[in-house]
Amino acid sequence: MSPVLAASLRVLIAVGLMMANGVMMIYMLRKVLGHLHLRYGPLHVGWHGLLQTPLDVVKLLTKEDVTPRAVDRWLFRLAPLAVFVPSLMAYAALPFGPGWSIVSLDTGLLYTFAVLSLVPIGLLMAGWASANKWSLLGGMRAAAQQIAYEVPLLLSVLPVVLIAGTMSLGGIVDAQQGLWLGVLPRWFVLNPLGLVAFALFVVAGLVESNQTPFDMSEAESELVTGFATEYSAMKFGLLFLSEFSNQFILSAIGVTVFFGGWMLPWIPVEWYAEIPVLPAAVFIFKVYIGIFVMMWIRGTYPRVRVDRMMELGWKRLIPAGLALVLLTGFIQKAVM
Amino acid sequence: MSESVNGVVFFMLAFATIGGALMMLATRNVVHAAYWLLETMLATAGLYLLLSAEFLALVQVLVYAGAVSVLVLFVIMLTLRRRSDAIRPFEPGLGGAIVAALFLGAVYLALTRFVAPAVEMPATAPGVVEFGQIMFTEWALPFEIASLVLLVALVAAVWWSREGEDR
């Protein structure tokens, strides 16, 4: 097969994965949040409301696409794409199994973060183009918080890069093979330094993916829906698809970097070669556990104030992250 | 096969870079200009990638496209009083014409006098590991000086933006 065709097919696989994830996560969100709030969530369409989300997708696709008169036409049309494309690109380096990634990059971790750093630009574009004060405020908040937390997020995975000695996501998974003292799996979350790094990662990751304790950019109670207020039909669909997909990606990075990626504990690596689908299934299962925890946090905590959140990022998390990187470096040198 | 694919990709990226830069200059809307600047930066990252400079391309995306352009947009959007102020009139002046002429002359001289250095290219492009090693051994001092300069600029910016009290 020609390399161009093969590459196109891989991109299509990523698109399919992203769509499937979106549908899956909307249903999951409704059910999980529902049960957390002592409600049932969707029940009537299909078994336990299973067909509700597919029907909603049809609704989004067939609804009228309204373009308000005052908007900046070009940017208004471009913004959903500017949000969607980086999210799609971020799937490229994720390792779904041994050698199972769309492209295998030596700098996979950096690549994923670099691509995700483009998302706030799209949100800012959506906010500005909408010609609506709430939208602009939402877009500005999204950009401000993602700029502030990009640094702690990168710093939180650096200790792992130092320990594993590689930035390739597949390489980081390989570095977590085997057992400590014959009992504990060598996952980085069970390493004392890794555990602190993971705590930083969770906070910074929740902010980066606009999750509820930190979803100031949408904040329904004050900004309607923030940057998405003026969007309708599938443009709105694309904005939200990419938000769900960013959650998937952050969870996938957490799983890869801290929880041993596609490996199950205590199962020797050779076994995975026997059952080809097992690693991918394990990986996706772990990712959804991560997403479930995010939703759990979303259903539990109230929204943080904007200034408090910015203070936490710049004044606490960045120094903490820097100190952790320094400490890891010293320990790494002392041990080696 | 891959040669011709590279050629096509190069022309697309070159067109995107130069076209983006031209559009940035041509547009009257400052917000649009900022987005064209961003497009130029991304296309440049693509050119780096085509030269197998993977790390440089990623840093270009992360720092220039991901952070610097957001700051530019922020400043523009925060300083605009009214939305309609985003569209600026075209006001050519003598000063601008002189600067443009000087720049054009400099570019002409640079292009005509430029001799491409005959550097032998390695068979395989060095990866991040080699880059890191050379950066922190041979080039450690310049690297540290550069980071010190940036730190000084950062502290100065914070000091300047501080109003009243203990300044």
Mean pLDDT of A149-154: 87
Q: Indicate yes or no: CB of A117 within 8 angstroms of CB of B67.
A: yes
pLDDT at A26 over 60: yes
pLDDT higher at A50 or A218: A50
Q: Indicate yes or no: CB of A143 within 8 angstroms of CB of B127.
A: no
By C-alpha distance, which of A236, A243, A327, A248 is closest to A283?
Answer: A248
pLDDT at res. A220: 67
pLDDT at res. B101: 93
Which of A314-318, B11-15, B159-163 comes out lowest in average pLDDT? B159-163
Kindly report the backbone phi and psi dihedral angles of residue A274, in degrees, each rounded to the nearest multiple of 5, phi listed first. Answer: -70, -40
- Write down how long chain B is: 167
Give B72's contacts in chain A (Cβ within 8 Å): none
Q: Indicate yes or no: CB of A117 within 8 angstroms of CB of B66.
A: yes
What is the set of domains in chain B, with CATH numbers? 2-88+125-161 (1.20.120.1200)
pLDDT at res. B56: 85
Q: Indicate yes or no: CB of B127 within 8 angstroms of CB of A140.
A: no
A75 vs B: CB within 8 A: yes
Q: Which of B1, B38, B128 to mutate to test the interface with A (most CBs of A within 10 A)?
A: B128
Pairing of strands A184-185, A179-180: antiparallel
pLDDT at A260 over 70: yes
Percent of chain B whose predicted confidence (pLDDT) is above 70: 95
pLDDT at res. A1: 66
Which of A99-108, A317-326, B42-51 comes out lowest in average pLDDT? A99-108
Q: How far apart are CA A21 and CA A28, in angstroms?
A: 10
Mean pLDDT of B62-88: 80
Give A111's contacts in chain B (Cβ within 8 Å): 58
Q: Indicate yes or no: CB of B67 within 8 angstroms of CB of A136.
A: no
pLDDT at B133 over 70: yes
pTM across the whole model: 0.85
Please, are residues B33 and B88 in contact by the beta-carbon 8 Å criterion?
no
- The residue written with tokens 């690693």 in the block is A279
pLDDT higher at A32 or B91: A32
Q: Indicate yes or no: CB of A115 within 8 angstroms of CB of B71.
A: no
pLDDT higher at B165 or B97: B97
Mean pLDDT of A136-143: 83
pLDDT at A178 over 80: no
pLDDT at res. B19: 92
CA-based radius of gyration for chain B: 21
pLDDT at B109 over 70: yes
Mean pLDDT of B88-96: 80
What ipTM does this complex have?
Answer: 0.80
Q: How far apart are CA A158 and CA A283, in angstroms?
A: 22
pLDDT at B102 over 90: yes
Mean pLDDT of A88-114: 83
Give B29's contacts in chain A (Cβ within 8 Å): 72
A131 vs B: CB within 8 A: yes
Q: How far apart are CA B133 and CA B129, in angstroms?
A: 6
pLDDT at res. A219: 66
Dihedral angle computed from the Cα positions of residues A241, A247, A248 and A254, in that order, rounded to the nearest 10 degrees: 170
C-alpha distance across the termini of chain A, in Å: 46
B2 falls in which pLDDT band (50, 70, 90)?
low
Classify residue A245 by burial, with Cβ atoms within 10 Å: 0-12, 13-18, 19+: buried
For residue B149, the SS3 value is: helix
pLDDT at res. B106: 93
Please, are residues A53 and A26 in contact by the beta-carbon 8 Å criterion?
yes
The full 3-state SS of chain A, as one line of letters, equals CCHHHHHHHHHHHHHHHHHHHHHHHHHHHHHHHHHHCCCCCCCCCCHHHCCHHHHHHHHHHHCCCCCCCCCCHHHHHHHHHHHHHHHHHCCCCCCCCCCCCCCCCCCHHHHHHHHHCCHHHHHHHHHHHCCCHHHHHHHHHHHHHHHHHHHHHHHHHHHHHHHHCCCCHHHHHHCCCCEECCCEECCHHHCHHHHHHHHHHHHHHHHHCCCHHHCCCCCHHHHCCHHHCCCCHHHHHHHHHHHHHHHHHHHHHHHHHHCCCCCCCCCCCHHHHHCCCHHHHHHHHHHHHHHHHHHHHHHHCCCCCHHHHHHHHHHHHHHHHHHHHHHHHHHHHHHC
Q: What angle do the packed helices B2-26 and A3-36 form, to 10 degrees?
A: 60
Q: Indicate yes or no: CB of A150 within 8 angstroms of CB of B66.
A: yes
pLDDT at A305 over 90: no
Give B128's contacts in chain A (Cβ within 8 Å): 106-107, 167
CA-based radius of gyration for chain A: 20
A221 falls in which pLDDT band (50, 70, 90)?
low
Which of A120-129, A178-187, A190-199 comes out lowest in average pLDDT? A178-187
Quick one: tokens of A25? 């996560």
Which of A32-36, A134-138, A287-291, B123-127 comes out lowest in average pLDDT? B123-127
pLDDT at res. B165: 58
pLDDT at B167 over 70: no
pLDDT at A61 over 80: yes
pLDDT at res. A269: 72
pLDDT at res. A5: 85
Dihedral angle computed from the Cα positions of residues A9, A11, A16 and A18, in that order, rounded to the nearest 10 degrees: 170
Q: Indicate yes or no: CB of A72 within 8 angstroms of CB of B31.
A: yes
Which of A161-175, A290-304, B77-91 comes out lowest in average pLDDT? B77-91
B125 vs A: CB within 8 A: no
Average pLDDT taken over every residue of chain A: 83
pLDDT higher at B104 or A238: B104
pLDDT at res. B15: 92
- The residue written with tokens 């959140």 in the block is A309
Q: What is the DSSP letter of B67?
A: I
pLDDT at res. B108: 92
Mean pLDDT of A27-36: 87
Please, are residues A301 and A212 in contact by the beta-carbon 8 Å criterion?
yes
Q: Indicate yes or no: CB of B69 within 8 angstroms of CB of A121.
A: yes
Task: Determine the distance in angstroms separating the CA of B66 from the nearest CA of chain A, rounded to an integer.
Answer: 5
Mean pLDDT of A313-321: 87
Which residues on adjacent β-strands are paired with residue A179? A185
pLDDT higher at A254 or A226: A254
Q: How far apart are CA A169 and CA A175, in angstroms?
A: 10
Task: Determine the distance in angstroms separating the CA of B2 from the nearest CA of chain A, rounded to an integer.
Answer: 8
Percent of chain A whose predicted confidence (pLDDT) is above 90: 3
Q: What angle do the packed helices A133-164 and B69-79 form, to 10 degrees?
A: 160
Quick one: tokens of B63? 């720092």
Average pLDDT taken over every residue of chain B: 84
Task: Determine the distance in angstroms separating the CA of A31 from the nearest CA of chain B, rounded to an integer.
Answer: 35
Give A167's contacts in chain B (Cβ within 8 Å): 128
Task: Determine the distance in angstroms separating the CA of B82 from the nearest CA of chain A, rounded to an integer.
Answer: 11
Cβ within 8 Å of B, A 162-201:
167
A71 vs B: CB within 8 A: no
CA torsion sign, B38 to B43 to B47 to B53? positive
